[in-house]
Amino acid sequence: MLEHGVVAGSAFCPQDVAALQYRAPRLAVDCLTQALLGPHHAALILDVACGTGLVAAELQAQGFRQLHGVDGSPGMLDQAQARGLYQCLSLCTLGQEPLPSAEGTFDAVLMVGALSDGQVPCSAIPELLRVTKPGGLVCLTTRTNPSNLRYKEALEATLDGLEQAGAWKRLEARTVDRWELATSELEVGPGTSDSDGFISGIIYLYRKQAAAQAEGGRPGPQPPAGL
């Protein structure tokens, strides 16, 4: 599977992305862009599990310029650095250590392609929320094919629990049929199109609530302009 190297992984070049027709980075950035109405160049964005910069390339194409990335693979960070897409890159194994950022730092946080078995655990999701500004956006993706359904169920339980606690509000859960090409028989079945060989995926978009709302108190201030 085409995944980013948070725990372990291989670097993927643009030719690999084209061969698998991996659409998650572009689709996730499109989803985020539709919800973030302010000037793109002014938004501070964190790309978690950034890999070699697939998401950053899509963000740059949409006019985002203030990009920070974290990944658990030094090799991938080296490749991301060489592409010159990020203002700041940090080594971090999410799930084993906190993100190297203060609370409420970023206007938006994305994690694309790293939420699956053997990669980032669901227990790390609150850490993404911690570094997001009140009123900021969190965009996540995972696959919905048979081999990932158990993880997806656990992930959605975590996402729903945070929403019930008032920590954030879901803006969208967008299912995508043609997510990427299946690469093994384990991925074939419900959630896979027998006719074209694609598996499906899903994009989640949340807005972080203000502190008073998360604590069950009076409504807090409105989100920052453009968010």
Taking residue 84's Cβ as centre, other Cβ atoms within 10 Å add up to 10
- pLDDT confidence of residue 120: 94
pTM given for the model: 0.83
Cα three-residue angle 170-175-176, rounded to 5 degrees = 140
Q: What class does CATH assign to 14-212?
A: alpha beta
pLDDT of residue 161: 98
| Alpha helices by DSSP H, 43-191 | 54-61, 74-83, 125-130, 149-164
Residue 70 has a pLDDT of 97
**The dihedral formed by the CA atoms of 113, 33, 37 and 51, expressed in degrees to the nearest 10:** 40
- Give the integer Cα–Cα distance in Å for 126 and 23: 26
Q: CB neighbours (10 Å) of residue 10? A: 14
**What are 173's two structure tokens?**
């859960």
Residue ranges in the chain whose pLDDT is less than 70? 1-20, 183-195, 212-227
Identify the DSSP state of 99. Answer: -
Distance from chain centroid for Cα 15: 22
Residue 135 near residue 222 (C-beta atoms within 8 A): yes
Q: 174: Cβ–Cβ under 8 A, 6 or more apart, which residues?
A: 27, 31, 202, 203, 205
Cβ(77)–Cβ(71) below 8 Å: yes
